[in-house]
Structure 1
Amino acid sequence: MALDYFAPGVYVEEVDRGSRPIEGVSLSVAGFVGFTEDVRGDAELFKPMLVTNWNQYLELFSKPGSDGYTDFDAYLPFAVQGWFLNGGGRCWVVSIGTKLPGSELPPPEETGSKLFTSGGKPSLMFNLKLPEAGAAPALPSSSGRITVSILESEPKPLDDDADEDAIPPLNTGEFFSVVVRNGNEILERYDNLSMNPQVETALADYVLTALEASEFVTIANLSQSGQALSRRPRNGSYEIAPPPYISPLENLARDVQGARNDKTGMQGIFEVDEVAMIACPDLMRVYQEGLMDLDQIHGVMEMMVSLCENSFPGPAYRMAVLDAPPVKPGKNENRAVPPEQQKPQDVFNWLREFNRRSMFGALYYPWIKVANPRNGGRPILVPPSGHMMGLWCRTDETRGIFKAPANDTPRGVIGLAYETNMREQEMLNPVGINCIRNFASYNRGFKVWGARTLVEPDNVQWRYISVRRLISYVEKSIEIGTQWVVFEPNDQDLWARVSRTVSNFLERLWREGALFGGSAAEAFYVKCDAELNTNETMMLGRLYVEVGICPVRPAEFVIFRISQWAPNQ
């Protein structure tokens, strides 16, 4: 209200008495950690980068003109492609390298940036100069990459003491300048250059000789023959990428884990608030290559699940989608095997050995067969986590977050590592291993045939993925949608407004089919009254609101009871 009134007249005041609607948050954004072919553009190694489609992924994490996959069959590109194929939208990607840890540094001719003549023939090759011979390269980033520009130039001008009648040298078009930049900052500039090794120094400088003094780049002459003009590189700007970062084996686990303060690695993904599902498919690649043993793999998985469980100060809302390592647990064998050799009993025994239970984790079996562009489109077996998270997102969009992401077809899948039958799934399903099945005999194709979390089997309240995600959706939406309540006068008027706000949100969910009940009163309740908010709690500055909801649960087992019936004559 106005503070005072002095002159007679009509005063109009705005009074905010209505409830503010709660807008549902999105829990359909994924986070991926793994190896990529390259790291360029605005992307940085170990830092989460937003990717909204496959083309954008190629711009950030593949070499120019490439298909985005790697020569060592990293699983991350397959997972991200599967995410988008199955309906995934935004995702965040963390690259932990472009080569497997412990690999040899490729020779400069493989990592250098090649410049071509106007006729398309090789001219020059540039590489970043390392700090010292054999030293590890700096991590590639958008600010650390160098740009080399080739510009028009001319022969050197005549000396000041030359005869007045001297004829200036003829500009044959062979001369050019090299400008080395870091962003918009010019680091070095070399003018009056030529591709002719025997060029007169009074006329120009041979490009290799001139750039020997460069502090930032090294240069090689790729041209074979011809005149200086025909060997001249064409004008333009070229990105000079550093050599790939190759992690020492002892640093691999630390690189994957990252650091929260630096927002790197797995912990960097958890600093992105909108990420609600996490996968690290290349854990399986490093395990297959023998770069991590099973205990180390379990350590990373444990970290993923624990980070999902801990979302202080708000409610936990993320889920980790795990992949089953291709292993046959036993007394004398604890090493990777081909994924097709891992049978249902093996994954059952592995999960018992891993022995980590959580309502914020999910596991799918078996591995899936997809096309590999790096091998002529021939099939390759990959972990299913990326495809499954994409299917989660598609279910959210088409049906709602309350619908179990199951009995649906995973896109991009052309086969399975193992075709589980019903009897085998009877062993896996009760312990939370979700099967991907082939229902060819029913002419139904491949189906995701499980929707359980990795919670303890006897904890039936949090058994289903859809229930866990629906409750997280409600909690997170209410948390964000009621921020306006903080520091409001704690009285009956506020209690009524808060109750109305939350009730309207839950009634909308009930009408959409997310809550069970024949009426709104049967589906949920919201309590905010003097019984909860006593004088003592108000003196402490606290407002308590009690909310109860009845989520719908998937019909996992459909039982028809059929008997013979004889009508009365």
Structure 2
Amino acid sequence: MPQALTYPGVYIEEISSGVRPITGVSTSITAFIGATLRGPIDTPVRVQNFAEFERNFGGLWRNSPLTYAVNQFFQHGGSDALIVRVSNVPGTGKATVGTEGLNLEAASPGTWGNLLRVRVDHATNPELATAEQLFNLTVRDMGTGTTERFLNVSVLLAHRRFIGKVLEEESKLVRLADPIPATRPNSTGEDGAGRDPLTVTPGSVPFNADGSDGDTIGDEQVSSGAGLQANKRGLWALEKADLFNLLCIPPFSFDEDIGVPTRVEAAKYCRDRRALYIVDPLRVWDEPADLRAETNGLDSEEWGLGRSENAALYWPMLRIPDSLQQGRLADFAPCGAVAGVMARTDSQRGVWKAPAGIEATLDGVPELKIKLTDGENGQLNPLGVNCLRAFPEIGRVVWGARTLRGADSLASEWKYVSVRRLALFIEESLFRGTQWVVFEPNDEPLWSQIRLNIGSFMHTLFRQGAFQGKSTREAYYVKCNSETTTQNDINLGIVNIEVGFLPLKPAEFVVIRIQQMTGDIPT
């Protein structure tokens, strides 16, 4: 009712319908954790193509399998990645320079900073009141050709164009380092006037060659180091990200697998964050028997991961031309390519479609490390191992869709990747889409709104073909009433919502029965 009825007439009031649409979350944001050439440490950065990855993290690097995995992700259809760079650099590992009292350091650790050059000039705006305090700073990355120029900046802390703050907010190349000079720095390279100050040696000052890439990263930098979780570093740097759906942790180097602590923590963390961990195989697995071996097989201490419903293993390794090695074939972990296939399948068919089959092609993969036969595939599939296969005419494809919980002997309801990912998608979408319920009056009007909104969301999925069943009654249900929420629950401030759905299962085994017909026999 309107707040005040003061005059005779017609009053118009808008009434809420109670509909709060639930939007489905993204399904294929893929987090990558590992070493890169450059970029912020322990900070998730979102990139949406490989060119953006090159700008932020330096592109392909022979010492980093992660960089190849990201490239394969985008090549296979991925479009959204979170990159977490971890490093094993002693000290800061940043290249530094001092010019006329102005001390600068590279924005991130790595030898890439050794190629930076800097120039200071005083061609500032003379109309500014503080012109005598200002200077211009130009920085060029000689490795990539990227140039940054900052005009009318000052070394005075109180100035609105304080160089430290400007570089922190606008530069991807350098940062101000202590000590900060009390007065503006002198111009550099005056004898190079009229020439490009950043390509002629007298026109600019090179950074010192004190940047370092550090040693090869290990479990200590990703999962097992002291204080990583508390300080949101390594794997737990993803706490700074709002959402991710797939996790890839490629081998630490081309000679070293990730360790048991990282595999275990990654699977646990994916369970907490409603994500799927795409697990790479061990390098010593050269034949199917190796996966069943007591020393390093799926049930060995060297593997250590166990059977997680939030993890899926793909085998064997991919053999792909290495552009940094004159196109020679090299072995690569499959996680990036498989994540790209999942993203492509989600986009074309939906998260409920198993990311496997003749459509799940591994583009740009001329060979697999091992060519499996049907018999060998038949040995591994019941163990929950997703095989990568090569078929005539079709090419290389993903030929398995099971979680690690998908071994036949476990008889798990989370046997299939598509079923598990659909459940995670629904859970995350409902978690975010029902936040408005908190602190609402806990009674039938609220329950009916909940049923309406969640039911609408589930009906949309049903119409898109996400569930089994010819009718909504067969496909899903939503319960929120006095049966699910008792008076005692109400007294405790609890509302219980029950949602059930009948998922689609992939047609893993196709059986065709053929019978020979006989002609009529005269009697």
Fold agreement, TM-score > 0.5: yes
Give the structure with higher Rg (CA): 1
Q: In structure 2, what residue type is equivalent to 1:151?
A: D
**Alignment partner for residue 151 of structure 1, among 117, 121, 142?**
121
1:32 CA displacement = 0.4
Structure 1 residues 549 and 129, CA gap change in structure 2 (3 angstroms): closer
1:34 CA displacement = 1.1
Structure 1 residues 567 and 501, CA gap change in structure 2 (3 angstroms): farther
1:138 CA displacement = 8.4
Corresponding position: 1:77 with 2:77? no
CA offsets 1:296-315 (integer angstroms, 9 cap, x no match):
7011100100111224xxxx
- Check whether the contact 2:89–2:109 (CA below 8 A) recurs between aligned residues: no
Aligned to 1:264: 233
Distance in 2 (CA, whole Å) between partners of 1:47 and 1:265 is 9
Corresponding position: 1:404 with 2:354? yes
1:501 CA displacement = 1.3
Structure 1 residues 101 and 286, CA gap change in structure 2 (3 angstroms): farther
1:494 CA displacement = 2.0
Corresponding position: 1:346 with 2:283? no
Structure 1 residues 286 and 46, CA gap change in structure 2 (3 angstroms): farther
CA offsets 1:49-100 (integer angstroms, 9 cap, x no match):
11111111111111xxxxx22243x211110001101111111111123xx7
Aligned to 1:158: none
375-384 or 6-15: bigger deviation: 6-15
Structure 1 residues 101 and 430, CA gap change in structure 2 (3 angstroms): farther
1:488 CA displacement = 2.1
- Check whether the contact 1:128–1:241 (CA below 8 A) recurs between aligned residues: no
Aligned to 1:51: 47
Structure 1 residues 392 and 544, CA gap change in structure 2 (3 angstroms): same
- Check whether the contact 2:44–2:240 (CA below 8 A) recurs between aligned residues: no
**Alignment partner for residue 273 of structure 1, among 237, 242, 264?**
242
1:395 counterpart SS class: helix
Q: In structure 2, what residue type is equivalent to 1:555?
A: A
**Alignment partner for residue 214 of structure 2, among 240, 246, 259?**
246
1:33 counterpart SS class: strand
Distance in 2 (CA, whole Å) between partners of 1:231 and 1:461 is 67
Aligned to 2:37: 37
2:337 counterpart SS class: helix
CA offsets 1:492-539 (integer angstroms, 9 cap, x no match):
222222112111111111111110001111111112222222222222
- Check whether the contact 1:150–1:233 (CA below 8 A) recurs between aligned residues: no
Structure 1 residues 9 and 509, CA gap change in structure 2 (3 angstroms): same
1:397 CA displacement = 0.2
2:259 counterpart SS class: helix
- Check whether the contact 2:119–2:189 (CA below 8 A) recurs between aligned residues: no
2:422 counterpart SS class: helix
Question: Superposition pairs for residues 18-33 of structure 1, below 5 Å?
Answer: 18-33=18-33
- Check whether the contact 1:433–1:454 (CA below 8 A) recurs between aligned residues: yes
Question: Superposition pairs for residues 142-291 of structure 1, below 5 Å?
Answer: 148-151=118-121, 182=164, 184=166, 187-188=180-181, 189-191=184-186, 233-234=202-203, 243-247=211-215, 252-257=218-223, 259-283=228-252, 285=254, 287=256
Query: Equivalent pairs: percent with the same residue?
Result: 32
Question: Superposition pairs for residues 380-459 of structure 1, below 5 Å?
Answer: 380-407=330-357, 408-440=360-392, 443-455=393-405, 457=407, 458-459=410-411
Corresponding position: 1:556 with 2:515? no
Distance in 2 (CA, whole Å) between partners of 1:16 and 1:538 is 25
Distance in 2 (CA, whole Å) between partners of 1:240 and 1:501 is 61
1:127 CA displacement = 10
2:389 counterpart SS class: strand
Q: In structure 2, what residue type is equivalent to 1:448?
A: V
Q: In structure 1, what residue type is equivalent to 2:29?
A: V
Q: In structure 1, what residue type is equivalent to 2:186?
A: D
Corresponding position: 1:91 with 2:57? no
1:264 CA displacement = 2.2
TM-score, length of structure 1 as denominator length: 0.71
Q: In structure 2, what residue type is equivalent to 1:50?
A: R
- Check whether the contact 2:440–2:446 (CA below 8 A) recurs between aligned residues: yes
Matched positions, count: 448
- Check whether the contact 1:45–1:140 (CA below 8 A) recurs between aligned residues: no
Distance in 2 (CA, whole Å) between partners of 1:377 and 1:319 is 32
Question: Structure 2: which 5+ runs fail to align?
Answer: 124-153, 156-162, 168-175
Structure 1 residues 252 and 128, CA gap change in structure 2 (3 angstroms): farther
2:9 counterpart SS class: coil
Q: In structure 2, what residue type is equivalent to 1:82?
A: Q
Question: Superposition pairs for residues 297-308 of structure 1, below 5 Å?
Answer: 297-308=259-270
Q: In structure 2, what residue type is equivalent to 1:319?
A: L
- Check whether the contact 1:37–1:61 (CA below 8 A) recurs between aligned residues: yes
- Check whether the contact 1:437–1:449 (CA below 8 A) recurs between aligned residues: yes
Q: In structure 1, what residue type is equivalent to 2:61?
A: T
Question: Structure 1: which 5+ runs fail to align?
Answer: 63-67, 116-125, 131-136, 154-178, 197-205, 207-227, 289-295, 312-316, 329-341
Aligned to 1:323: 280
Distance in 1 (CA, whole Å) between partners of 2:400 and 2:53 is 30
Aligned to 1:513: 465
Distance in 2 (CA, whole Å) between partners of 1:308 and 1:446 is 28
